Structures are given as C-alpha cells and as structure tokens.
Amino acid sequence: ISALTLTNIPTHDYGSGAEAVISATRGWPRVCTFYEARLWFAGLKGRPQTILGSKTNDFYNFDAGTGLADEALYDTLDTDQINPIVNIFPGRQLQVFTEGGEFSNTSSPITPADSSWTRHTNYGSKSNVRPDTMDGSTLYIDRSGRNLREFIFSFTEDAYTSQSSSTLAYDIINAPVDLTTVRGTEEDISNFVLLVKGDGTMAVLNTLRIEEVDG
C-alpha cells in the first residue's frame, strides 16, 4: 500500500483565493469508483455536491484541459438544497446517492461536453454503507436506516424508482453498518442480501426477481 499521487487537481475559490479541492486543508473524497475507464471521486469535504472524473485511462490525472472527450470532468449537482454525496456506484449508469436524493448520469458516454445528472427519487441514502447490485438493481439503505431499497430503471416511468425491499420485515432492519450480496449458483439459485447491523446481528433477504420471491 502506498500513497497516490494525483495531478492537476481542480481548484475552487473558498474566499481566500484558489485552492485545490483535494488536500489536507480542504479534505479528502469520502467515496470513489471506476466507470467508463475513469476514476471518480465524490463527497469532498469542502465541495460536498461535486463529482470529479479523471482523464480516460489515466486514473490519477484530473486535467480538464480544453474539455476534449477524454479529458477530466468537474461536475456539481444542481439542486435546490445542499445534498452531500455519500455514495457513488457504477450501475447501468453512473449513480450518485446523496443525503437527500438519488441521481444518475444519463449521458453515454460521459464526457466534459456531455454530462447530465438527473435526480430520480428523494429518499436519501445512509452514509458509510456502500450499495451493491443484484438482478439489475442497485441496493442501498435509505437515510432512515430502516429500509433496503432497489434503485432500478422503470421503462413505464422512463426513470429510476426506489422500491422498498424490506416492507414486510421493517422491524428487523435497524442501523445497518454493512451490506453485501451472495448470488445464486447452478446448485442453489437463491440470491441473498446480507445486512450487518450495529448490534452484531444480521438481517438476510432471500430474493429471486424472476419468480417474485422476497423473504
């Protein structure tokens, strides 16, 4: 393990001149992921609604240059309230989960000239529990800490929805601290979602979408 050396970090005027948005002074990204051959950072302490995307196939270089298709991105969610980003996830689209809503980038591919963030639902996401994917949906814990939700595209709505997967067992989910999935095999087709709770116990969802099974 060694320290990363990032180059061409974007700057922002915090009132005392332009400063790098990633530093010991301004803080570090709280979440990251890889998507479309870029490294993405979000959840910056001083810029909580900002998303950074590296140059294509040059993961530690954040040079925005002149905005060419392979150069870095510096996006900020345009919302009517402060929405700190708590998770970023490479689903069917690049997805961002904030304290107040769920977003995706509807551009394909994402480039500096074509990067469009759309808010789909407004449940908010619990920080420090990374989403996971199962059967084409992104599973996340909403900000209440009591609901496991499926962020999935609905063709009838032409947008993502956030259906609760835990309505029938609302009482057994309380402040999860981690989430993971175990996918079915040829011998056992069941899929399991494991929710580790703060008291050391675990809630387990048995799910198989094609058979409409949720237990």
pLDDT surpassing 90 at residue 62: yes
pLDDT surpassing 80 at residue 209: no
> Residue 106 is which amino acid?
T
What is the value of pTM for the model shown?
Answer: 0.91
State residue 89's pLDDT score: 97
pLDDT, tens digit, for every residue of 111-135?
999 999 999 999 999 988 999 998 8
pLDDT, tens digit, for every residue of 167-204?
777 788 888 999 999 987 777 778 899 999 989 999 99
State residue 152's pLDDT score: 93
Q: What percent of the chain has pLDDT over 70?
A: 99
- pLDDT bin (cut points 50, 70, 90) of residue 3 is confident
